[in-house]
């Protein structure tokens, strides 16, 4: 009963966000978003409220039920929320924190998801280099070669102009070396792609979050093991 009630409440909130978008009503959007965030936290608000709303918006867009003006209006509001949440998270990270480079290829429009990835990493105390959208592979290589990040993350939702997906994946992995290249987006699944050895595909938002949490668990275990080794060494020296 509680699950059904929660789903009903979320659906009502999504419907309310939809009406706020259609009415170009920023105050109502802000009230719904802020209330849900206060009750559930920012990450859950994005996962449980905003992304289902964006899925609904996509359906409305395909059926010509909303205009580009509605999409731009609501996209701008969500982007502002993401930027504010990112700024609240400290840029200071532990010395052993993994480094991530985030970017979008030319003509890729998934900036909101890239910004949410920025937030997810910041909130998990990772070092983030955010290159943004319209990043060429030569620019990516220029960033990765001196920095030598642990991971490079990108989204390929739309076909890449002038590049077969296989060619682009191989070139991106080469530009990112020796980093592990993390790909997500529809083009990785509608096309058959042979992944280079330093590539990994993340199938959707939840798998991406699970991947980040698994990295955090590995780091905690490594730190715990290091502390244990230090104590054993100290005990041996004392003898």
Specify whether the CB–CB gap between 202 and 208 falls below 8 A. Answer: yes
Positions of CATH 1.10.1240.10 in the chain: 2-88
Position 43 confidence tier, pLDDT thresholds 50, 70, 90:
very high
What the block records as the tokens of 180 is 């592990």
Q: Is 130 exposed, middle or buried (0-12, 13-18, 19+ CB in 10 A)?
A: middle
Poorest-confidence range of 5-9, 22-26, 136-140, 209-213?
A: 5-9
> What confidence tens digit (pLDDT) does each residue in 206-228 have?
999 999 999 888 777 776 766 55
pLDDT of residue 4: 47
Give the pTM: 0.88
pLDDT of residue 26: 98
Instruction: Taking residues 72-98, report their average pLDDT.
Output: 95
pLDDT of residue 193: 92
What is the enclosing helix (H) or strand (E) of 143?
Answer: helix 137-147
Distance CA 185, CA 172 (A): 15
pLDDT of residue 224: 74
pLDDT of residue 8: 66
Distance CA 87, CA 91 (A): 8
**Quick one: CA torsion of 51, 57, 58, 62, rounded to 10 degrees?**
170
Architecture in CATH for domain 2-88: Orthogonal Bundle (1.10)
Position 107 confidence tier, pLDDT thresholds 50, 70, 90:
confident
Specify whether the CB–CB gap between 156 and 108 falls below 8 A. Answer: yes
Pick the CATH number of 99-221 from 3.40.430.10, 2.60.40.1230, 1.10.3720.10, 3.40.50.280: 3.40.50.280
Distance CA 76, CA 87 (A): 17
pLDDT of residue 3: 47
Specify whether the CB–CB gap between 81 and 46 falls below 8 A. Answer: no
**Quick one: CA torsion of 20, 22, 26, 27, rounded to 10 degrees?**
-40
What the block records as the tokens of 205 is 């938002």
pLDDT of residue 236: 63
Positions of CATH 3.40.50.280 in the chain: 99-221
**Quick one: CA torsion of 83, 89, 95, 99, rounded to 10 degrees?**
-30
Instruction: Taking residues 127-148, report their average pLDDT.
Output: 94
Tokens 């993994």 identify what position?
98
Poorest-confidence range of 117-126, 142-151, 221-230?
A: 221-230
Instruction: Taking residues 2-17, report their average pLDDT.
Output: 76
> What confidence tens digit (pLDDT) does each residue in 154-181 have?
999 998 888 899 999 999 999 999 999 9
Instruction: Taking residues 52-75, report their average pLDDT.
Output: 92
Please provide the average confidence, as pLDDT, over all residues in the chain.
Answer: 90
């Amino acid at each position: 009963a509680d699950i059904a009630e929660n789903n009903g409440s979320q659906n009502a909130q999504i419907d309310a966000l939809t009406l706020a978008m259609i009415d170009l009503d920023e105050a109502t959007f802000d009230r719904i978003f802020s209330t849900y965030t206060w009750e559930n936290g920012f990450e859950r608000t994005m996962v449980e409220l905003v992304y289902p709303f964006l899925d609904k918006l996509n359906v409305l867009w395909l059926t010509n039920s909303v205009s580009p003006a509605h999409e731009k209006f609501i996209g701008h509001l969500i982007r502002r929320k993401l930027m504010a949440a990112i700024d609240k998270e400290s840029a200071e990270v532990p010395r052993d924190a993994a480094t991530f480079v985030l970017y979008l290829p030319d003509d890729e429009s998934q900036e909101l998801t890239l910004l949410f990835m920025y937030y997810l990493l910041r909130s998990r105390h990772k070092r983030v280099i955010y290159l943004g959208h319209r990043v060429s592979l030569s620019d990516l290589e220029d960033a990765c070669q001196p920095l030598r990040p642990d991971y490079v993350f990108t989204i390929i939702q739309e076909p890449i102009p002038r590049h077969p997906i296989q060619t682009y994946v191989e070139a991106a992995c080469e530009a990112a070396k020796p980093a592990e290249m993390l790909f997500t987006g529809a083009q990785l699944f509608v096309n058959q792609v042979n992944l280079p050895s330093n590539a990994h595909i993340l199938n959707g938002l939840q798998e991406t979050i699970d991947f980040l949490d698994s990295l955090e668990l590995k780091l905690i275990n490594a730190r715990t093991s290091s502390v244990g080794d230090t104590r054993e060494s100290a005990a041996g020296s004392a003898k």
